[in-house]
Every structure is written in structure tokens, then in C-alpha cells.
Structure 1
Amino acid sequence: MAPTDDVDLPLVFRGADAVRDGVLTSRQLRDGPWVRLLRGTYTRRDVEVTHPLMCRAAGLLLPPSAMLTGASAAAVLVGATWLRARDDVQVVVPSTAARPTVKGVVARRSSAALVGGRRWETTTIAEPARVAFDAAARVPLAAGVGRLDALVRSGFVDVDHLTGWLDGRHDGDVVAVRAALALVDPRAESLPESAVRVELVLAGFDVVPQFVVRTSRGTARVDLALPDLRIAVEYDGAWHQLAEQRAKDRERAERLREAGWIVVHVSAEHLRTPGVVTTMVRAAVARR
């Protein structure tokens, strides 16, 4: 038997298949440079374990009727990072099929026939509308809106198409996904920006994403704006803590203030407590 370094195996493989085909011995599988992914599936230890890699592993264990969907499919198709590497792989099966019982895979049933799937690596991916529906279902409203914002912005799914797809559906969470879809605005550029926007819209504010402010020293684009009140709402994510970016942010904030704008800075900590962002913006409005 050749050393395992010379073994020709797929990126993700079933250990039982490798042993059966004589590619590995049971001992080589156990003691070799492999890491287990899902039940009986492996990859090389030096391969980075990502969620799409886990999706490949799931595909080796799923029945043909199961399709990759939701945030898992979005990770594969548009590079969404809503799930951690070893979070459950999301699949959908027809209502007539049994749910797969694989640890690390979560399956939901579709009330209608699954159509329009496309092959990917070891499995099939559901049609875009189904993927978008499952991505926005069973998560808080703001997260659902943010995910749909991203999918629409990327061109993966169209609002009108998804609206039509939802008509007549009886899947669980249809009402919640319709509510999220009604708030979609693909101009938002991140999940936190979407979350800030959703909170403010539900509080009655008419906010405009990615608004361009003209100042005497050029233009400045802000995450969210109440243009009539000249109030900007900026989400300060981790990248804003970089020294170079902080300097740019300070210079831009100064230009906005010179132009008569109030800038409200929102952090991840503010978003953790419902209503805090609304209170901050109301305080800014009161200054007008």
C-alpha cells in the first residue's frame, strides 16, 4: 500500500468507500492525515474546514431527493458567511420524503414539489426562490431582511419573483418571510446596516440607505440618512477600528458636521439591545 501522502482521493470522501475500494486501509484511515467532517466523511487535515466543505460532506450522505438550501446554499453560491463552518447544513426535502437523520444536517419539508434544482459537487442545490425563502425563515426579522437584502443585491434572486413564488405557499414561516420581504432594500451593504435600518423603519423613520451628501469639500456617502433632517446614521463595524479607516472616518464626519449634519454612530453593542438605536436617533431629531 502506498503512503497516504500519495493517495489519490477527492477533497471530501467517504471513509468506507476508500477502504472498500482498496485506496486506504482501515488503519490508514484511522491514523492518517485525515479529519472527520460528518458521519463517515473525511478530508485532509491540512484543508481548511469551511461551511461549503461541510455541504460537500453532507451531499455524500443525503438521499437524491434532498436539496441544499437556505444559508448553506447561499454560502456555496454567493459566499455568504451567515453560518460558521460546522453549523448544521440546511437541506429541504419533498413532503413525501423522510427527513435525513444525519447529525450536522437539518432538514425541512417543502409543501410543494421541489423543482429547478442544480447540481453542485456532491449534491443538488434548490432553486433560488427556495434558497432565499429558507435563508430568511426561522431567524429574527432583522436577520431575515438582511439576508434577503444581500441575496437581492447580489442578483441571486429578484423581489418580484420571490413575491410571486410565495403566493399560494403553505410552508411554515411564509408569513414571517413575507414580512421580511416587504422590508427589503438591497442598497444596504451589510447585515448590521440592514438591522439598523429595520429597527428605524419599524420605529417610523423614513431612512435612505447609502445616501450621498454633498459638502463644500466633496461628497460623503453615509450608511443611512434622514435627508430632510440632515441626520446620518453610521454603523461602525470592526474594520472601522483600523487606524487608517479611523482617520478617514474622522475626516468624513468633520465634513458632514461642517455641512450641518448630525452623525449618529452605531456599534454592535448598541444593536444587541432592542430600541437603543431608535433612542439615539430620536435624541438627534430632538436637537433639530
Structure 2
Amino acid sequence: MPRLFLGRHAVEAGVLTPGQLRGPGVRRVLRGVYAPASVPLTHELRVEAAGLLLPPGAGGTGRSQATVLGVPLAGALDRVEVLLPEPGRWTMPVGVRVRLAQEVVPGATWRGVPLASAERTAFDVCSRVSKADGVADQDQLARGGLLDPMRFQQWLEDVHDPYVVHARAAALLCDPRAESPQESRVRVLCHDAGLDVVPGVEVRDLAGRFVARLDLAVEEFRVAVEHDGAWHALREELERDRRRLRALRDAGWEVVHVTAGMMREPGAVVDAVRRAIARQTRSSRSV
């Protein structure tokens, strides 16, 4: 059997029976599209499956396009995002999210599947979600080389979609220096509270020696804002983190560690950063 095929074609060719399509030897990827059971189910496979069902003039978009091009924004079981031309009465199977556009401007092609332009893909990624999530995903697109932030902002000037306001707000904060989605979300929280945070700041001591690269920083007040990921269980990692923290403090920086619990209460993040700024201000005045 081929890696991916339409079930009706296999039955018409006498390769499989309808009963075998429901058996253990094959898996249904999307309605009407099958693969041998030995083929791993990934989002990329589901995008390929959707490509077999796309009408003329349609293409992949959004998180699906980002994922197949190397920026993994979609999981294996997430819905495949496609862009279809309007007007038209299009139907796609369960597991496919349809976006509509008056014209689908083609971008790249991946394994025979047409893809939308980079700008349309970014619009579909960020226009229907919160600003924090939209910025996080845009940052990943830009960091992965799939989006030019300035070009995207210019492209949005001519868009009149009802969701364009959300996209423009997110586009203004896009920064390819962000290294993780959670870091981007912390940056949006701080920005919306009026805190001037910058990603990817390098700290050096008075002799010019490298000390650390920070997730985020309020440079004026030497306040580092670091998002804590999974607990570092290895002793070596704990020791390295402690040495890094001591080096930052010796260089005159205060570090705010943002935990998952704090992210559930956004005000806690902002308050912690503001308190750190106040302490640094008092410290500088006392010198």
C-alpha cells in the first residue's frame, strides 16, 4: 500500500475491501483518507491527508503550515488548518478547520500540498486568539525564519477582516529574539502593564566578561525577568543555576523568577517586577 491513499480508490482498484479499510492493517487519517497502520500518526501526515481533499485554489495555513515547515505549533491530533477560496460551498471532514479568503495567494508547496503566503499564515495564527497567544506564536514563526515582522505589519494595513484588530495588536509586539512561548506571554503581560521589557539581553561584568543571557530584562533598572520551566532535577543543573544567579547579583542585577502559578494570576507577575524595580531604585539612590 502507498503511504497515504484515498479509501475509495483502493476499493475501486481491488487492492482493499471496505471491510479491510476498517481492519487493523490500516488507519483512517481523515474521513476518506487512509494510511498503513505502521505509518506514525503525526500532524504532518494529517496535513498531507487534507491535501488530497483540497479543492482547486485552496491551501494549508496557520499552525498547520508552520508545523510542516519546521515550527511545531500543532500537535498530532490538532485540527488541520486550511484556507479555502470564497464564495463556494466547500465541505471538509471532521478534524479540519476551514478559513475563508476571497483569494488564496499561494506561497510554498510542501509534499504536493499548496500553502498560503507567509503573511496569511501569520494572520490565521494570531487573529482569533488572545494577544499573548498570538504574540507567542508569531515570535516562533519569526524566530524560525517563516515570517518577516515588518513586512507582516505592512501587509495588515490593507486587510479589512473583522479579526484584523487582534492581528495588528499582536504584530506590533512580535520579536524573533524570544526563545519560548511562555517567555513571549510574560513579555506581553509586562508590556500591557507599561513595563518596558526587552528579550535576549546579554549581561556582562565591569571587565566585559559574559555573565548571562536573560529571557527578559528591564535594562534601565537592571531587573531580569526569567520564566521558570520544569524543575531542574539534576544536581549539576541546580548548581549551574545557582552560580548564574550569584553572578547576576554580583553584576548588580535583581532576578524575578516567574513560575507557572504566577502565570495563572497575571497581576502577580506585574507586581513582582514592579517591586524589584522599586528595590533597585532605592538601592541606586543609597549608593
The two structures have a TM-score, normalised by structure 2, of: 0.90
1:183 matches 2:173: yes
Between the aligned partners of 1:207 and 1:241, the Cα distance in structure 2 is 29
* Corresponding residue number in structure 2 for 1:208: 198
Listed as ranges, the matches of 1:261-276 within 5 Å are 261-276=253-268
Per the alignment, do residues 206 and 269 of structure 1 end up closer, same or farther by CA in structure 2, a change over 3 Å counting? same
1:91 matches 2:82: yes
2:229 pairs with 201, 223, 237, which one?
237
Residue deviations 1:50-99 (CA, integer Å, cap 9, x gap): 1111111111222123211011110111232x322111111111222234
Whether the 8 Å contact between 1:13 and 1:41 is mirrored in structure 2 is: yes
Listed as ranges, the matches of 1:247-266 within 5 Å are 247-266=239-258
Per the alignment, do residues 239 and 90 of structure 1 end up closer, same or farther by CA in structure 2, a change over 3 Å counting? farther
Aligned AA for 1:155?
G
Between the aligned partners of 1:247 and 1:264, the Cα distance in structure 2 is 18
Q: Which moved more, 1:116-125 or 1:89-98?
A: 116-125
Between the aligned partners of 1:269 and 1:254, the Cα distance in structure 2 is 24
Whether the 8 Å contact between 2:71 and 2:140 is mirrored in structure 1 is: no
Query: Between the two proteins, what is the percent identity of the paired residues?
Result: 46
Whether the 8 Å contact between 1:239 and 1:245 is mirrored in structure 2 is: no
The two structures have a TM-score, normalised by structure 1, of: 0.89
1:33 pairs with 18, 25, 50, which one?
25
Residue deviations 1:135-181 (CA, integer Å, cap 9, x gap): 11111101101111121222212122212221221123111100101
Listed as ranges, the matches of 1:85-234 within 5 Å are 85-110=76-101, 112-215=102-205, 218-234=210-226
Give 1:122 shift. 4.7
Classify the secondary structure of the residue corresponding to 2:30. coil
Classify the secondary structure of the residue corresponding to 1:238. coil
Whether the 8 Å contact between 2:200 and 2:215 is mirrored in structure 1 is: yes
Per the alignment, do residues 53 and 244 of structure 1 end up closer, same or farther by CA in structure 2, a change over 3 Å counting? farther
Aligned AA for 1:104?
G
Between the aligned partners of 1:257 and 1:271, the Cα distance in structure 2 is 24
Per the alignment, do residues 167 and 224 of structure 1 end up closer, same or farther by CA in structure 2, a change over 3 Å counting? same
Between the aligned partners of 1:226 and 1:169, the Cα distance in structure 2 is 34
Classify the secondary structure of the residue corresponding to 1:84. coil
Whether the 8 Å contact between 1:129 and 1:165 is mirrored in structure 2 is: yes
Aligned length: 278
